[in-house]
A and B are shown apart, each in its own frame.
Chain A
Amino acid sequence: MNILVCISNVPDTTSKINFIENDSKFDSNGIQYIINPNDEFGLTKAVWMKESNDASITVLTVGDSSAETILRKCLAIGADRAIRIDCPANDAYSVAREIESYCQSNTFDLIICGRESIDYNGGIVPGLLAGFLDYNFVTNCVSLEVNNSKVTCYREISGGTEISESDLPIIIGSQKGLVEEKDLIIPNMRGIMMARQKPLEVVEAKNISSKSIDKKFHKPQAKSEVKLVNPDELDKLIDLLENEAKVI
């Protein structure tokens, strides 16, 4: 089975978010980049599937050369080969079209994306890609079983779970639950050494134009000071919530 895991290179969760060039661009100065957490759950699942099935794992990112560090990390975690489509990730549409174009000449049975990225976090790329490729699609995927060409997926829905069955090929949007936090693979020395031998291919982009453009970023307004209520005056807290904030 051929598995593709789409990886988004995102600022570490503790990053301070700032903008430059008249608030039109994210300030990546001093930012540590990580594998998008939802993608990492998906990659771990792929590595498990490789252990139990005969599968090969390709990881792919659309981005500039700075994204190669995390691709190497994915190889150290257990992917077999890495692809970087060489263009800036401008918007979900152009990213999904670039991935689609790659998937036209290299077919995959299972494409794993994250449910959403934590930077631009539109949660759009996997669905778009499924629409473009006319693949089956399940997002918010918390469990996945593949038996020959049959797939069973569990999707987290509001207040429960939806279980579906379909044929391959399929695209899933992964999240925690697909594997647990404790299952995430921390690359060991051997993995890191092996990753150096594995192929990382740079593919020329089609340079597809965007359908959405971030014109200007803004940060939320600074919060006013917290109002403290004494623990033995809880009635006051209820008063404030009832009459001032009007939320109960």
Chain B
Amino acid sequence: MAVLVYIESENNEYKKSAYEALSYGKALADKMKVQVSGLIINSTEIESLKNYGADKIIKIDNKDLQEFSAKKYSHAIAKVIDSENSSIIILSSSANSKYLGAYLSGIIDSSYTSNVVSLPESLTPFIVKRTCFTNKAFSSTELIGDIKLIGVSSNSFGLHETHSDPIIENFQIEAIDSNQKTIKIEKETGSVTIADAEIVVSAGRGMKGPENWTMIESLAEVLGAATACSKPVSDMGWRPHSEHVGQTGKPVSSNLYIAIGISGAIQHLAGINSSKVKVVINNDPEAPFFKAADYGVVGDAFEIVPPLIEKLKTRL
């Protein structure tokens, strides 16, 4: 009967979402008056985890798990759940954690809910709040069964620091065999991804053509932001699909979302609703985006964005 947090790492580093999952696990364990353990796979970095209150860190070191595999990782985590007798498992909402979450829940026959935004409203019955209808609504969802998996939505619970001095335990396992093999990973280097970004600069059809994105990229660069776009922009091939945000694209839950030349169609807004602060730059004061935004500038993006970049350069 304890809380287990799967702490995802990449090259010995943890992303903010991993610390957020641990923060959530710690707060939940306190509420339930139980202990919280963190599970790391092929990572040696422990120091930073001490800031988020784990009572125990379970380490798996196994060369067969060098590369992420939803299947192999799920089977490994399932063994830990079994041996620890964990009743609640916390995962982040990173692409990999969402990928393995459902599979893991399938092999251990547990309940699972993703997109959870806050601590349970009640422990018996166990009720959590999650987003649904692509952020157009929330649901208070009851989870049933002895084991419950919770996927914590990015940037919703936040980081909560509590120092601890966890016991470190090595966990030996044999990875399962699988005919599914990763043969290649292609990564763009340098650019910030939408999922990890604190700030997202997004642009729409109002930009007129792909040649005008230099301006958007420069703005993103001064802010350390990721770039994104509306659906028609990716459909026309002005920008890659991976930048398409909205109901049928990626969700964005950044701290700041800047929308330039985007009208604010309902399907677009659905995907960015959970961003904290929204800024719109649009030359049409009637654009629906103004109803969804916190701050707005009515005007021509081609006249606003370049001086904005210059001002930010001198001020930040």
Q: Does A196 contact B (CB under 8 A)?
A: no
- A190 interface hit (Cβ, 8 Å): no
Chain A residue numbers with a CB within 8 Å of B184 are 162-163
Q: Which of B115, B138, B248, B315 contacts A13 (CB 8 A)?
A: B248
Q: Determine the distance from Cα of A121 to Cα of B127 in the docked complex, in whole angstroms.
A: 18
Given contacts A14-B266, A220-B273, contact A231 B134 (CB under 8 A): no
Which of A1-9, A72-80, A135-143 lies at the interface?
A135-143
Contact A237 B185 (CB under 8 A): no
B residues in contact with A228, CB < 8 Å: 290, 295-298
| Interface of A: prevailing SS | mixed
Are A211 and B141 touching (Cβ within 8 A)?
no
Q: How many Å lie between the Cα of A77 and that of B295 in the bound state?
A: 44
Asked if A238 is at the interface of the complex by the 8 Å CB criterion, the answer is yes
Q: Given A14-B267, A212-B142, decide whether A162 and B111 contact each other with a Cβ distance below 8 A.
A: no
- Contact residues, B207-262 vs A (CB, 8 A): 223, 231, 235, 241-242, 244, 247-249, 255-256
- Collect the chain B residues with CB atoms within 8 Å of residue A186's CB: none
A223 touches B104 (CB 8 A): no
Q: How far is the CA of A64 from the CA of B225 in the complex (A)?
A: 45
User: Chain A residues with Cβ under 8 A from B280's Cβ?
Assistant: 226
Contact status B179-A131, CB under 8 Å: no
Q: Do A214 and B294 have beta carbons less than 8 Å apart?
A: no
The answer on a CB contact under 8 Å between A17 and B137 is yes
**In the assembly, what is the distance between CA of A223 and CA of B294, in Å?**
8
Given A96-B106, A158-B94, A237-B297, are A212 and B143 neighbors across the interface (CB < 8 Å)? Answer: yes
Contacts of B102 in A (CB 8 A): 92, 122-128, 130-131
Contact with A along B275-303 (1 / 0, CB 8 A): 01101100000000011111111111001
Using CB atoms, name the residue of chain B closest to A209. Answer: B144
What residues of B have a CB within 8 angstroms of the CB of A177 in the complex? 241
A219 to chain B, nearest CB (A): 5
Interface residue total, chain A, C-beta cutoff 8 A: 80
User: Smallest distance from the beta carbon of B255 to chain A beta carbons, Å?
Assistant: 5
Q: Is the CB of A211 within 8 A of B185?
A: no
CB neighbors of B among A161-180 (8 A): 161-167, 170, 176-177, 180
**Interface check A189, CB cutoff 8 A:** no
A163 touches B182 (CB 8 A): yes
The smallest C-beta distance from B311 to any residue of chain A, in angstroms, reads 6
Indicate which residue in A17, A160, A229, A235 contacts B296 across the interface (CB closer than 8 Å): A229
Contact residues in B for A157 (Cβ distance below 8 Å): 95-96, 185, 187
The 6 closest A-B pairs by CB, nearest first: A131-B106, A127-B102, A211-B111, A166-B180, A160-B187, A231-B299
Given contacts A118-B134, A124-B114, 18 further A-B contacts (CB under 8 A): A37-B248, A38-B248, A92-B102, A120-B132, A127-B106, A130-B106, A132-B106, A140-B99, A158-B193, A170-B180, A212-B143, A215-B127, A216-B139, A217-B137, A217-B139, A220-B138, A237-B279, A237-B297
Q: 11 pairs across A/B with beta carbons < 8 Å?
A: A13-B247, A119-B132, A121-B134, A128-B112, A132-B106, A166-B178, A177-B241, A220-B138, A228-B295, A228-B298, A229-B295
